[in-house]
Structure 1
Amino acid sequence: MGGVVPWLLTAGYSDPAAPVSVTLGLVLVVVGVTVLVACFVQFVREGRGTPAPVAPTQELVVGGIYRWVRNPMYLAVGAIILGQAVAFGSGAVVAWLAVFAVAVVSFVLGYEQPTLQATYGESYDEYRRHVPGWYPRLTPWQGPGQGPASSR
């Protein structure tokens, strides 16, 4: 989603006359990839599973980056796509970002949130009340297991 499709839409072309755009785009891609990897690690360590529905977590993941925002993986992939749009100077990749955003929000609202609520009940409801889905909190949520004594 965040690599192959933008590359295909631009045929790998980046305007060499815009080094600032390429640099800014690369920074967004690196930040997105870093957040994405951190989220995968958090799923394995805290959730004892993966983000994939075929091997779901056994525990609700609310530590690490998830203390600031509920959907950091989707935001990370969005940052990767946006970074490529900026680096390639591509309106087609911006359009792809819009398609991706609509698909992700639809998936989260239609499947992910109801599934997490059914699986984790009140603990997910509490987490959802305190941590925004699409923009980060200014301070990390200090919910259950998230206090200063916690190793998360």
Structure 2
Amino acid sequence: MRKSAAAVGSSLFMALAPGTVAGLVPWWLTRWQSGDWWLPVRVTGGVAVAAAAVVLTHAFVRFVVEGLGTPAPLAPTEHLVVGGLYRYVRNPMYLAVVTAITGQSLLLARPALLTYALIAGAVMWSFATWYEEPRLSRTFGAEYEAYRRAVPGWRPRLRPWR
């Protein structure tokens, strides 16, 4: 896949998948109406949302530049993506989405979003475990298995994998 096509596909997928899970559904649950929590908690939530946006953008860019594809199952990468933040954790996108929802919960003072973050995280874990990992193993074989052994799926390493 050409980088330009990968960039367009990744952008569309980012708007559809994380945009829905971390944007549209939280809006539907809250209409962005906030409660009244202690200011430092709300600021922490805002920082978490901003950090999640940076991580998510970085991860999508890696799929285009390094993988020559998209995160979408219909247009997968040609190469296994193991650089950047993927040297620390195998699932930075999923972690970023859950962090964004959790941050929104703190920012808006809406505990219902914490429940939603847990449900969304469980769905993402299930998808990664029962669909993505077997598919990556079939597609990339020993390369993926070595990566999987070295880099945790959900708890980032302190030092990058080489």
For normalisation by structure 1, the TM-score amounts to 0.90
Aligned mate of 2:55, from 4, 10, 35: 35
The alpha carbon displacement at 1:20 in A equals 1.9
Name the residue aligned to 2:84.
64
Give the Cα–Cα distance (whole angstroms) in 1 for the partners of residues 140 and 132 of structure 2: 12
Name the residue aligned to 1:99.
119
Name the residue aligned to 1:122.
142
> Unpaired segments of 5 or more residues in structure 1?
143-152
Does structure 1 conserve the Cα–Cα contact (< 8 Å) formed by 2:102 and 2:113? yes
The alpha carbon displacement at 1:98 in A equals 1.1
Does structure 1 conserve the Cα–Cα contact (< 8 Å) formed by 2:35 and 2:110? no
The alpha carbon displacement at 1:17 in A equals 5.4
Name the residue aligned to 1:79.
99
Give the Cα–Cα distance (whole angstroms) in 1 for the partners of residues 74 and 38 of structure 2: 42
Name the residue aligned to 2:27.
7
Identity score, percent: 47
Amino acid at match of 1:124: Y
Structure 1 counterpart SS, 2:67: coil
Give the Cα–Cα distance (whole angstroms) in 2 for the partners of residues 96 and 15 of structure 1: 17
Give the Cα–Cα distance (whole angstroms) in 2 for the partners of residues 78 and 119 of structure 1: 27
RMSD between superposed Cα atoms in Å: 1.0
Equivalent pairs counted in the alignment come to: 142
